[in-house]
Amino acid sequence: MALQRHHLSLLFIMFSFVACHSTVLFDDGSTFKDFIKQKSTDVLSLKKFVKLGDISSSLKTVNVNDYGARGDGKTDDTQAFNDAWEVACSSGGAVLLVPENNYLLKPFRFSGPCRSNIEVQISGTIEASENLSDYSEDLTHWLTFDSVEKLSVKGGGTIHGNGNIWWQNSCKVNEKLPCKDAPTALTFYKCNDLTVEDLTIKNGQKMQVSFQDSENVKVSGLTVTAPGDSPNTDGIHVTNTQNIQISSSVIGTGDDCISIVSGSKDVLATDIICGPGHGISIGSLGAGGSKDFVSGITVKGAMLSGTTNGLRIKTWQGGSGSASNIQFQNIQMDNVTNPIIIDQNYCDQETPCEEQKSAVQIRNVMYQNIKGTSASDVGVQFDCSNNFPCQGIVLQNIDLQLEGGGGAKASCNSVELSYRGDVIPLCP
């Protein structure tokens, strides 16, 4: 597995330096979309090596079937999972095993702290109850790991949120309906020294997977999917989390592939395939006059295809704080509507947002080796605050052309900008 991941990583890095158009990229005539399809297959194939897991003989195995789980996709297995988790959590090191069956669960919290290290081996499918009344106590979470230290969750299985029933009742789908909360499919809350790898998370009710208030997190080999028109279904959401690495993952949803918000620091995302979706976003920040900080964000080696945004930093007027020390490196764009965008006038509400005097300061942002095609005329857009201009923005080796041919444009307002190497397009 390690060799396959190393090979995949090298392909990403090599590919990112190729100056190309969106049609033919390789000597064999294969296209960018062919490459995306193949890399998706490569990532998915990693799961074959962990389908049953590599369970250490020194750990106690706790099989949910031994505690009454039916795994027929019809019977509520929540109580069985609860009983099995209590045993695993109270043991001196254990593996919670979810075999290759289909387990139906109501909202459930894997609560810690636990006595010792825990490994959760998901080889089957965990599927969400579609009965909305089951979420009456908490409309915002379905599966949650809460305060579990040194946790590992893996196994090649699937977390299935059955989100369709929630999307149908969303005000963003039907404007006549009132706006209500919906659950995040999988949440890791206050989980330090966490490893999550080789899982599929699909059709989450709202956000797919969220890392919140955690430290020292490693995420790899995830496949995160939801339809492109599903509302607010962010793929991987990072909030108030430090030292998190996200690698070798395929994400396609109805919202941001990766969203990074306040309190997040030292975030590294490598070898990411994104699309459909809204791209890779930092923010939104500063909503409701809040003071928000993010720093030390690096996205290195990514492919974005058909997304509504590429690399986006978005902040509300009226907020404060900063988004700083950010690097976007070795990125390939294919038919992306807003490939590079900073928006300090973000407004996600029905009525126009009033002009404010304060803003979240954006500074020290590097865009390096970014190539491909834009679906809109403007390939680079910096819409920064007049009172708090963007500072230390660097464009190096940028080549963004219009999808179908022709040169893209740049739109730049209140930005302190410098160029290195060849940059297309340039600000007027």
Per-residue model confidence as pLDDT tens digits over 103-121:
999 999 999 999 999 999 9
Q: What is the mean pLDDT of residues 372-384?
A: 98
CA distance 102 to 71: 5
Instruction: Spot the catalytic one: 141, 160, 237, 278.
Output: 278
> Which 3 state secondary structure label does DSSP give 153?
strand
Which of 95, 144, 84 shows the shortest CA–CA distance to 117? 95
Establish whether 278 is a catalytic residue.
yes
**Collapsed DSSP state (helix, strand, coil) of residue 378:** strand
Q: Where are the domains of the chain?
A: 58-242, 255-347+355-427
pLDDT at site 351: 85
CA distance 389 to 290: 19
Question: How high is the mean pLDDT of the chain?
Answer: 90
Element (H, E) at 167: helix 164-168
Question: In this predicted model, what pLDDT tens digit does every residue of 130-167 receive, in sequence order?
Answer: 999 999 999 999 999 999 999 999 999 999 999 999 99
Nearest alpha-carbon partner for 129 in 92, 160, 95: 160
Taking the alpha carbons at both ends of the chain, their separation in whole angstroms is 48
58-242 and 255-347+355-427 have identical folds: yes
**For the domain 58-242, what is the CATH code?**
2.160.20.10
Pick the CATH number of 255-347+355-427 from 2.70.150.10, 1.10.760.10, 3.40.50.1000, 2.160.20.10: 2.160.20.10
The encoded tokens of residue 127 equal 């599927």
Phi and psi at residue 25, in whole multiples of 5°?
-115, -25
Evaluate if pTM is beyond 0.85.
yes
- Confidence at residue 69, expressed as pLDDT on a 0 to 100 scale: 98
Helix (H, G, I), strand (E, B) or coil at 9: helix
Predicted confidence band at 93 (pLDDT cuts at 50, 70, 90)?
A: very high
Percent of the chain scoring above 70 in pLDDT = 87
In sequence order, the 6+-apart residues with CB closer than 8 A to the CB of 134 are 106, 107
For the chain, the residue count is 428
Crossing angle between the packed helical segments 32-45 and 2-16, to the nearest 10 degrees: 160
Q: Does residue 4 carry a pLDDT above 80? A: no
